[in-house]
Amino acid sequence: MNTVLLILLIMTEAAFCFVTVSRGSDKGEYKLGRLIANVGELVLFLLTVLLPGIDLSFRFTMLITLLVIRAAAAGIMLLFRKKDRDEKKAFSKIMSAAGSAVMFAAALIPSYLFSDYNGLPVSGKYTVAQTKAIVIDENRTEEYKNDGSKREVPLYFYYPQDAAAGESFPVVFFSHGAFGYYQSNSSTYMELASNGYIVISMEHPYHSIFTHDHNGDLILADRSFMQDIGELYSDDTTIERADEIQNKMISLRLADANTAVDAIKDPSSAVWVYDNNEDTIASVLSMADTGRMGFMGHSLGGAAAVSIGRQRDDIDAVIDIDGTMLGETSGNEYFTVDGGRYMIAVNEKPEKYTLPLLSFSNQQSHDDDMYCRENNIPYVNNTVIDNAEQAYETYIAGTGHMNYTDLPLFSPFLANYIGQVTVSDDTAGTGTVDAEGCIVKMNEIILDFFNAYLKGDGEFRVEEGYIV
């Protein structure tokens, strides 16, 4: 509908231009006509709000602002006009209409970049509330700064707001992917929290696209981290350099994860920075059953989830959402696949993975996994799953890497663009799958998995793949 709206606005400008040029109106008449046209365009927009796809959200804020300013400016110009009977030149009228069309198109860009997504319905009985805090790790100096400041780990809590007195809930941690954001899988957190979980989504400063420190200062993804990601997926990168990069990234993620888990288990031992919500955080932590904890993550966060599950005996179940298990690798090797050089993380470790483990793959990753199995290539995810005591793997047909986040629901364009740029791979954005159907199915599987292994509710089963 945004395209229809744009066409209607341009047609209004074209009609106004045609009438004023053909009539040869003077400047005074033109200003009156301009006011009528601008007010008419504002009314036209307000009428289209009644149609699906057009609303008063941030997607159309620029356009609303533009239309209001244009109408107000036209009114002021008419009010204070001088008696000017000179004819306004046709060229000026045409350029004014063309300029208006360009402004309309520019103001509608957010409506093309973002959808009108307002979240998904949840299946649980609890109302979900949110709060946040920052934990400062005084044992770590921030490696992305040189001022001696300590590492900060922002934590975002999703929890049952209407819990009964004395109720306690399992805790699930989430780690976002490279250039991700704590809200990347909000629908998953909401679904779990509505069903009686406390979900804690952590942010990894300088790995996330943006976050804020305890002073409220904006922190963007670090340039060196961006370079590391680009180098990791470059065909020119040596095996030794790839090992160095991924070990550095996983080490930081694991340290952040340990900081978060330790703070939740023993709040008094951590340094907290509250957002005027100390009592709320204390209430949430009092409901947290740290004897039942799970960990999940997307992409690089999924790799961290698998590794933290290996390290700690207080994590009970792990989900890797489309992440190569870099922390489990014994190195990288090059293989020739379809005539091209292909660097793949490999694993020849004999140690079994003892925790219940669920792994999601996108369509291309699933196909690559099958290729590795058929050709006896020890791809790390396959090896870990094959050697685990309780491991499950599945995929949703037609998915790209970003389909396992909420971003395609919020902004299909950005999801496809960011996914491809992140790993320089056309398959890493969004696939052909229905974006909402994919997330709904993934959330259903995740809930079933944690219900089985954190609540002892039923036996978990998963199919090899799903079509939605």
Rounded CA-CA distance 208/165 in Å is: 36
Rounded CA-CA distance 323/249 in Å is: 13
Rounded to the nearest 10 degrees, the angle between the axes of helix 300-311 and helix 239-265 is 60
Rounded CA-CA distance 423/268 in Å is: 40
Unique residue bearing structure tokens 């888990």: 261
Report the DSSP pairing between strands 218-220 and 210-212. antiparallel
Rounded CA-CA distance 301/297 in Å is: 4
CB-CB contact of 296 with 302 (8 Å) = yes
CB-CB contact of 243 with 257 (8 Å) = no
Look at residue 217 and give its three-state secondary structure: coil
Domain boundaries, the chain: 2-113, 128-466
Look at residue 120 and give its three-state secondary structure: coil
CB-CB contact of 450 with 317 (8 Å) = yes
Q: How far apart are the first and last CA of the chain?
A: 26
pLDDT in tens, the chain (468 residues): 889 899 999 999 999 888 888 876 666 777 888 899 999 999 999 998 888 878 888 888 999 999 999 999 888 887 776 655 556 677 888 888 899 999 999 999 888 888 878 889 999 999 999 999 999 999 999 999 999 999 999 999 999 999 999 999 999 999 999 999 999 999 999 999 999 999 999 999 999 999 999 999 999 999 999 999 888 878 788 888 988 999 999 999 999 999 999 999 999 999 999 999 999 999 999 999 999 999 999 999 999 999 999 999 999 999 999 999 999 988 888 776 666 666 788 877 778 999 999 999 999 999 989 998 998 888 999 999 999 999 999 999 999 999 999 999 988 877 777 655 554 455 567 889 999 999 999 999 999 999 999 999 999 999 999 999
pTM, two decimals, is: 0.86
Q: 128-466: what fold?
A: Rossmann fold (3.40.50)
Rounded CA-CA distance 236/340 in Å is: 13
Rounded CA-CA distance 242/204 in Å is: 21
Question: What is the pLDDT at residue 424?
Answer: 47
Question: What is the pLDDT at residue 136?
Answer: 97
- The residues near 86 (Cβ < 8 Å, ≥ 6 apart) are 26, 27
Look at residue 52 and give its three-state secondary structure: coil
Q: Which of 123, 154, 300, 125 minimizes the C-alpha distance to 219? A: 154
Going 149 to 276 to 121 to 319, the CA torsion angle's sign is positive
Question: What is the pLDDT at residue 230?
Answer: 86
Q: Which of 408, 384, 424, 155 minimizes the C-alpha distance to 275? A: 155
Rounded CA-CA distance 7/106 in Å is: 13
- Side chain identity, residue 22: S
What's the Cα-to-Cα distance from 13 to each of 3, 7, 16, 101, 236, rounded to whole Å?
Answer: 15, 10, 5, 7, 53
